[in-house]
Amino acid sequence: MTAVGSGAWAASEAARRRTFAVISHPDAGKSTLTEALALHARAITEAGAVHGKSGRRGVSSDWMEMEKARGISVTSAVLQFAHRECVLNLLDTPGHADFSEDTYRVLAAVDCAVMLIDAAKGLEEQTRKLFDVCRHRNIPVITFINKWDRPGREALELLDEIEREFRLRPTPVTWPVGDAGHLRGLVDVRSPERMLRYTRTPGGAHEATEDELSAAQAALEEGAEWAQAAEELELLAADGAVHDQEAFLAGRTTPVFFGAAISNIGVRLLLDALVDLAPAPGPRVLEGGGTRALEAPFSGLVFKVQANMDPAHRDRIAFLRVCSGIFERGATVTRAASGKPFATKYAHSVFGQDRSMVDVAYPGDVVGLVNATALRVGDTLFTDTAAVFPPMPTFAPERFAVARPADISRSKQFRRGIAQLDEEGVVQVLVSDVRGDQAPVLAAVGPMQFDVVAARMAGEFSAPLRLEPLPYQLARATDAAGAEALNRSRLVKGEALTRVRDKAQLALFPNRWQVSSFEREFPQARLDLLLAAH
Q: Which residues make up each annotated binding site for GTP?
A: 92-96
Distance from chain centroid for Cα 155: 26
> What mask, x for binding ligand G4P by CB under 6 A, covers residues 204 to 233?
------------------------------
Nearest distance from C-beta of residue 446 to ligand G4P, angstroms: 15
Give the three-state DSSP class for 510. coil
Q: Which one, 145 or 496, has the nearer CB to ligand G4P? A: 145
Task: Give the residue from 93, 13, 54 showing the smallest Cα distance to 365.
Answer: 13
- Indicate whether 31 belongs to the interface with ligand G4P (CB under 6 A): yes
> Which range in 232-240, 257-265, 433-441, 445-453 contacts ligand G4P by CB under 6 A?
257-265
**11: region left, alpha or beta (phi > 0 left; psi from -120 to 50 alpha):** alpha
- Cα dihedral sign, 448-452-453-459: positive
Q: Which one, 56 or 70, has the nearer CB to ligand G4P? A: 56
215 CB burial (10 A radius; 0-12, 13-18, 19+): middle
Say how many CA atoms lie within 13 Å of 534 toward its Cβ: 14
Beta-strand ranges (E) seen in 407-490 are 428-431, 441-444, 465-469, 474-478
- Indicate whether 24 belongs to the interface with ligand G4P (CB under 6 A): yes
Distance from chain centroid for Cα 269: 22
> Which range in 23-31, 40-48, 57-65, 357-365 contacts ligand G4P by CB under 6 A?
23-31
DSSP symbol at 122:
B
CB atoms within 10 A of CB 273: 22
Q: Which one, 53 or 488, has the nearer CB to ligand G4P? A: 53
> Which range in 20-28, 39-47, 58-66, 246-254 contacts ligand G4P by CB under 6 A?
20-28
Nearest distance from C-beta of residue 61 to ligand G4P, angstroms: 13
Nearest distance from C-beta of residue 389 to ligand G4P, angstroms: 30
Distance CA 57, CA 41 (A): 16
**Which listed residue (7, 14, 19, 32) binds ligand G4P by CB under 6 A?**
32
Distance from chain centroid for Cα 126: 11
> What mask, x for binding ligand G4P by CB under 6 A, covers residues 143 to 182?
---xx-xx--------------------------------
Distance CA 206, CA 321 (A): 35
Listed as own residue / partner, the contacts of 202-205 with beta carbons closer than 8 Å and 24 or more positions apart are none
List residues forming the annotated binding site.
92-96
Q: Provide the pairing of β-strand 112-118 with 141-146.
A: parallel
> Which range in 136-144, 255-263, 399-407, 455-463 contacts ligand G4P by CB under 6 A?
255-263
> How many angstroms separate the first and last alpha carbons of the chain?
51
**Which listed residue (262, 278, 492, 506) binds ligand G4P by CB under 6 A?**
262
Secondary-structure percent of the chain, ordered helix, strand, coil, rounded to 5: 30, 30, 40
Q: Which one, 119 or 358, has the nearer CB to ligand G4P? A: 119
> What mask, x for binding ligand G4P by CB under 6 A, covers residues 37 to 66?
----------------x--x----------
Q: Which one, 70 or 150, has the nearer CB to ligand G4P? A: 150
Nearest distance from C-beta of residue 174 to ligand G4P, angstroms: 14
> Which range in 21-29, 101-109, 221-229, 246-254 contacts ligand G4P by CB under 6 A?
21-29
Q: Which one, 95 or 440, has the nearer CB to ligand G4P? A: 95
Query: Residues in the site for ligand G4P, rule: CB under 6 A?
Result: 24, 26-32, 53, 56, 95, 146-147, 149-150, 260-262
